[in-house]
A = this chain, B = another copy of it.
Amino acid sequence: MSSDFAAWRATVQVDMEGMLLSFLPPVTQPPQRLHEAMQYAVLDGGKRVRPLLAFAAGELFDAPRDAVARAAAAVEMIHAYSLVHDDMPCMDDDDLRRGKPTVHKQYDEATALLVGDALQAQAFEVLANATLDAERRIAMLATLARASGSLGMCGGQAIDLASVRLVLSLAELEQMHRLKTGALLEASVMLGAMAGKTLTTADTEALRAYAAAIGLAFQVVDDILDATADSATLGKTAGKDAADNKPTYVSILGHQESLDLAEKLRQDAHSALKPFGDGAQRLKSLADLIVHRKT
């Protein structure tokens, strides 16, 4: 990882914290407890992979920084809401997230439910108010809605729920993750790019191929880390998948083959970006980061 990339990444992460705060209602505004819990769910945590993808894709297409910030914040709010709901007792029942008590532990279940619901609405509001022509905003909103709903993230979670204690084929596992994690990662890339120069069909296809590769790689690495790292390192409960009898890449392919698959997907991601030349270096580095991360 080049020092330039490391510095860029740190800058985006710090900037993102301030931007997310500015796009959330202040805790001084009623209902204060809900607004406090929304900030608790979104701020001070996470690797901000989705915002990083949006900013890297935005730079490649000369998108205005303000607009990318809103796209990045919207995607991160959708991601944060999905974690809050996912951690609830009726779903994964998890107590720890990003090294902190989950929202329903820190507050209560009803608040966690409302935090997630309100964050989803907030994501669409933040994006609707971007400084971009209306046609572009509408296309971005439709992309985000599709990626979040029953044919995207929520659909993936439904398949995930239904798959507990089932033996999935590799193809079924892939389809589940393509929706559950992949859809929103793809939306992060696409929204960043859509905020800039008009995309050609070839641009869109290349970005989608990149996003598909990193989306799967992200999940393969998640499964490897869940099976090998400890909770303190991950900031969330490790070993959950095996304990929950969830099918994973590690349980289907084994450890070494999962590592090999992640590496192959990293190379696929790089290949997909070839048409963009050097301008795509940050997106390439993000593919490396996703595959080589330790948490």
Is A155 within 8 A of B121, CB to CB? no
Asked if A269 is an interface residue, CB under 8 A from chain B, the answer is no
Is A149 within 8 A of B85, CB to CB? no
Encode A141-164 as 1/0 by CB contact (under 8 A) with B.
110111011111011011101100
Interface residues on A, range: 35 or more
Interface of A is mostly: helix
Is B118 within 8 A of A116, CB to CB? no
Which stretch in A32-40, A232-240, A273-281 binds the other chain?
Answer: A32-40
Contact of A135 among B33, B134, B141 (CB under 8 A): B134
Contact of A154 among B88, B114, B128 (CB under 8 A): B114
A138 to B29 Cα, complex, angstroms: 25
Is B122 within 8 A of A150, CB to CB? yes
Measured between C-beta atoms, what is the minimum distance from A198 to chain B in Å? 15
Instruction: Show 12 A/B contacts (Cβ-Cβ < 8 Å), sorted by A.
Output: A25-B150, A30-B159, A33-B162, A35-B150, A114-B161, A117-B120, A118-B154, A118-B155, A121-B150, A121-B152, A125-B142, A138-B141
